[in-house]
């Protein structure tokens, strides 16, 4: 099963991708997480990406496509993958088609997570995660159960993403409208596109996705 998650920043792509990864035993591939790992490692890619990410701009297609191409061929993707945050431009989608054709694979479904723009900035500004195990939290929708203690690993250290502030969210949204929304007509011509109400509570969103997936299987 090969899935693409589309949706604006903060729509819940990462949250729902992780749930799908567990449910279907397929790999979540987040280009944002891959880039943040490069930034943390201080690699050439990380150095080039950091200022763009901090400004809410897209990283060049060539960098992203070559990263994705090698990731998709790793053993944990053999049963399938969930693309979270990729493709983000029509050029990336076209490059993905070429890579998949060469590997004799295809996309089974595109899940489009729809959320009101007003809700996105609050979700993003509220997001934080455990520095030790990566568990994700939110000031509003999912605070820690015990004050400032990770429920999973007990750590007291938490981090926020450098691009999770209201100014950067505005640029990320504008990049989404301009570069990523044109992917909808691109995919509607080729593959099943399912529209999911991302304004519902997290468990409800998962149920909508589950019922869509039964149609795909």
**Residues of the binding site for Zn(2+):** 130, 133, 150, 153
| Binding site partner of 19, from ligand AP5, Zn ion, none, Cβ cut-off 5-8 A by kind | none
Instruction: State the pairing for strand pair 136-138/2-6.
Output: unpaired
* Residue whose CB is less far from ligand AP5, 104 or 107: 107
Q: Which does 152 bind (CB under 5 to 8 A by kind): Zn ion, ligand AP5, none?
A: Zn ion
Check residue 133 for interaction with Zn ion (CB under 5 A): yes
- Angle formed at CA 172 by CA 171 and CA 178, multiple of 5 degrees: 85
CB 45, CB 35: distance < 8 Å: yes
To the query of whether residue 190 is one of the catalytic residues in this protein, the response is no
Min dist CB 129 to ligand AP5, Å, is 8
Site for ligand AP5, rule CB under 6 A: 7, 9-15, 31-32, 35, 52-53, 56-59, 64, 85-86, 88, 92, 123-124, 126-127, 136, 138, 141-142, 163, 172, 198, 201-202, 205
Cβ atoms 196, 212 nearer than 8 A: yes
Distance of alpha carbon 196 from alpha carbon 199, whole angstroms:
9
What gap in Å lies between CA 50 and CA 155, rounded to an integer?
27
Rounded to whole angstroms, how far apart are CA atoms 201 and 142?
11
Give the annotated binding-site residues for ATP. Answer: 10-15, 127, 136-137, 200
Does residue number 213 form part of the binding site for Zn ion (CB under 5 A)? Answer: no
Q: Which of 40, 176, 11, 209 is closest to 110 using CA atoms?
A: 209
Could you say whether residue 155 binds Zn ion (CB under 5 A)? Answer: yes
45-67 core/surface letters (b: 16 or more CB in 10 A; e: else): bbebbbebbeebbbbebebbbeb
Interaction residues for Zn ion, span 71-130 (CB under 5 A): 130
Binding segment for Zn ion (CB under 5 A), chosen from 7-15, 60-68, 92-100, 145-153, is 145-153
What are the residue numbers of the active site? 13, 88, 127, 161, 172
Positions that interact with Zn ion (CB under 5 A): 130, 132-133, 135, 150, 152-153, 155
């Amino acid at each position: 099963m090969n899935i693409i998650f589309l949706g604006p920043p903060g729509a819940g792509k990462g949250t729902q991708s992780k749930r799908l990864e567990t449910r279907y035993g397929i790999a979540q591939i987040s280009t944002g997480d891959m880039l943040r790992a490069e930034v943390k490692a201080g690699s050439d890619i990380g150095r080039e990406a950091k200022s763009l990410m901090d400004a809410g701009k897209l990283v060049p297609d060539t960098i992203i496509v070559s990263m994705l191409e090698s990731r998709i061929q790793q053993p944990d993707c053999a049963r399938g993958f969930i693309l979270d945050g990729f493709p983000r431009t029509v050029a990336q989608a076209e490059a993905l088609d070429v890579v998949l054709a060469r590997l004799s694979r295809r996309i089974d479904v595109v899940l489009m997570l729809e959320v009101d723009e007003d809700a996105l900035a609050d979700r993003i500004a509220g997001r934080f995660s455990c520095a030790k195990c990566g568990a994700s939290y939110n000031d509003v929708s999912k605070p820690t159960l015990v004050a400032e203690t990770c429920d999973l690993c007990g750590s007291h250290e938490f981090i926020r993403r450098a691009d999770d502030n209201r100014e950067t969210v505005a640029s990320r949204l504008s990049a989404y409208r301009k570069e990523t929304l044109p992917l909808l007509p691109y995919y509607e011509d080729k593959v099943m596109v399912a529209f999911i109400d991302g304004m519902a509570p997290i468990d409800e969103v998962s149920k909508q996705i589950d019922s869509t997936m039964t149609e795909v299987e």
